[in-house]
Amino acid sequence: MGQLNLFKDLFMLKECHKEWPLGQKTVYVQTYTPDLLYPVPRTLARDKTGIFGALPFHGVDIWNAFEISWLNAKGKPEIALAELTFPCTSENIVESKSLKLYLNSFNQTRFDSFETVAKVIEGDLKKIICEEIEVKLYPHSHFEKTALEGFSGVCLDNLDIETTTYQVERKFLFIEEEDTKKEDVEETLYTDLFKSNCLATGQPDWGSLWIHYVGKRINHEGLLKYLISFRDHSGFAEHCVEQIYYDIMQQCSPKNLSVYGRYTRRGGLDINPFRSNFESNPTNIRQVRQ
């Protein structure tokens, strides 16, 4: 059933977007080509989730890109690591394979500085997402000094649950009757067991999910079963995090909620969406699987 839903969603996307670069023979262009970038409207998934009009959250998508190289003014190669911060209010996201191909198109093009390359990327992505984007380029030595971190809070992964449900089931999210009569709690919970599938390719997306909320106590076993139920679900990283936020709000009604996903790198890119109604945007930590 999961594969059937994946193919159905992918077919619908491709029917709506005939120029979609996925599923076509990959040609790596060696010189700067901004036309390789391809937009995906955020409304495609938000409408399906039930998010209409004013957003119930704020946040960002932090992308880390590890495959960027160009030639300096003398023809010598430069390499960099990029941090791309997209606001969740943008009209579009950029399709990840198109971003990979775009960044690789810098390989045989000359630029005079890191700053110039950053401004070029910033300008091109702004046109695609229809909003401002922050681009930071770092030399390779920057990440050699970056310490690995894990999520703080209570890990759900040691709970002894039993489940056979691997398509999203929001009914797993609930508050025990006795807890509805108690005072609100503040909890920070996380799992490293999260998996979904890329809507465009069907490839597995592995990640860790962090949830911070204030409200009536959410049943931990049910929450873990709910997060595991994404295992055969097809959706982009940003859409999965927004659906988790929306489902928790609908089922458990916390006063305050933050959801943060850190995904394992694929194709030289890792994607890390954050959504909240009360906290500022997070720092760009680096986890052991990143």
Q: Where are the domains of the chain?
A: 21-144, 154-276
Sign of the CA dihedral with 66 first, then 107, 26, and 102 last: positive
What does the pLDDT read at residue 48? 94
Digit-coded pLDDT (tens) for 69-122:
999 999 999 999 999 999 999 999 999 999 999 999 999 999 999 999 999 999
| Average pLDDT along the chain | 92
**How far is the first Cα of the chain from the last one, in angstroms, to the nearest whole number?**
30
> 106 Cβ partners below 8 Å, 6+ apart?
32, 68, 69, 70, 117
What average pLDDT score do residues 228-256 get? 98
Same fold, 21-144 and 154-276: yes
Digit-coded pLDDT (tens) for 9-64:
554 554 445 455 555 667 889 999 999 999 999 999 999 999 999 999 999 999 99
Look up residue 287 and give its amino acid: Q
What does the pLDDT read at residue 3? 42
Indicate which residues carry an active-site annotation. Answer: 198, 205
* Residue with more model confidence, 20 or 247: 247
What does the pLDDT read at residue 13? 52
Rounded CA gap, 164 and 257, in Å?
A: 28
**With a threshold of 0.95, does the pTM exceed it?**
no
Pick the CATH number of 154-276 from 3.30.1130.10, 3.90.950.20, 3.60.21.10, 2.40.128.260: 3.30.1130.10
pLDDT exceeds cutoff 70 at 174: yes
What does the pLDDT read at residue 146? 85
Q: Does domain 21-144 have CATH number 3.30.1130.10?
A: yes
- Stretch among 98-107, 135-144, 257-266 having the lowest mean pLDDT: 135-144
- Residue 152 CB neighbours (<10 A): 10
What does the pLDDT read at residue 92? 98
What average pLDDT score do residues 240-260 get? 98
What average pLDDT score do residues 216-223 get? 98
Assess contact for 212 and 279: CB atoms under 8 A: yes
